[in-house]
Every structure is written in C-alpha cells, then in structure tokens.
Amino acid sequence: MTDLGWVHEGVKLLLLPVIAVLLAACAAALLEAGLALGERLRGLAALRRSGDADAIEKLARRRLERADLLARVPPMLGLMATIIPLGPGLAALGRGESQALAQAVTVAFDATVLGLAAGIVGLWVGRLRRRWYEELLDDIESAGAAR
C-alpha cells in the first residue's frame, strides 16, 4: 500500500489560505451590504432617471453575479475549513490528546460560522437586488410603453 501522508500534509496547508479567503469574504459581504444600502437609497433613483434599460441590465447582471458568488462560495469554503482541522483533531484524540481535538473543533465551527455568515449576506443582497432591478426595469418598460 502506498503512503499517502503527503496528501494529508498538503491538505493541512490549505487551512490558512481558506480561512484568509473566508475573512475576506466576510469583509466583502459587509461591503456588498453597504453598497446595496446606498444603491437602494440613491442609486436606483439615478438609474431610473437615466432610463437606459440596456445599461441597467448590464449593471444588474454584474452586481447580481457578485452577490450570487458571495452566496455560494463562502459556505463551501467554510465546509472545507471545517473538515480540514477535524482529521488531525481526530488523530490527536486517538493519541489521547483531547485538548488538540477541542482546538480543532473550535476552528472547524468558527470557519463554518464565517462561511455561513458571508453566504447569508450574499443571498440576502442578491435577492433584494434581483427584486429591485426587476421592479426598476418593469417601471422603465411601462414608462416607455405609455409614451
């Protein structure tokens, strides 16, 4: 049987980059929530005044893609960062090192929370934006048909 310890060592190296990306995703989620608030308070009215449906559709597509990525990727990364420390934690438990398992489980659960928090914000922002842009485009179409 081949020794696959190198796979385990390689996977362990992923933990810090994944957590760093999770933290960046949480920051991006806060930024997106702030942008969405500004969009709702002022940006949509300016877009409505422009009346350019094609430009609005392009802008909406870009903003919705960002929110959709934010809704999907961080929870996956949270799952990765949950599973990665559990292997060494369970191995430590087998050696009787319960403190190492406790630390691994803490990291795992924290990573899950980070991923879900960023994903929830992305989902929320995406749903709101989708509704806002659909209403805006409907209003523009109605105004164009009334002319």
How far apart are alpha carbons 117 and 119 in whole angstroms? Answer: 5
- Alpha-carbon distance values, 99 to 8, 18, 42, 103, 111 (Å): 21, 23, 52, 6, 18
Q: pTM of the predicted model, to two decimals?
A: 0.86
Find tokens 């760093």 and name the residue.
20
Q: If pLDDT is split at 50, 70 and 90, which confidence band does 147 have?
A: low
Query: Does the structure show a pLDDT above 90 at 81?
Result: yes
The per-residue pLDDT for range 127-141, each reduced to its tens digit, is 999 999 999 999 988
Whether residue 15 contacts residue 85, with contact meaning beta carbons closer than 8 Å, is answered with yes
How far apart are alpha carbons 85 and 90 in whole angstroms? Answer: 9
Whether residue 127 contacts residue 40, with contact meaning beta carbons closer than 8 Å, is answered with no
The per-residue pLDDT for range 21-36, each reduced to its tens digit, is 999 999 999 999 999 9
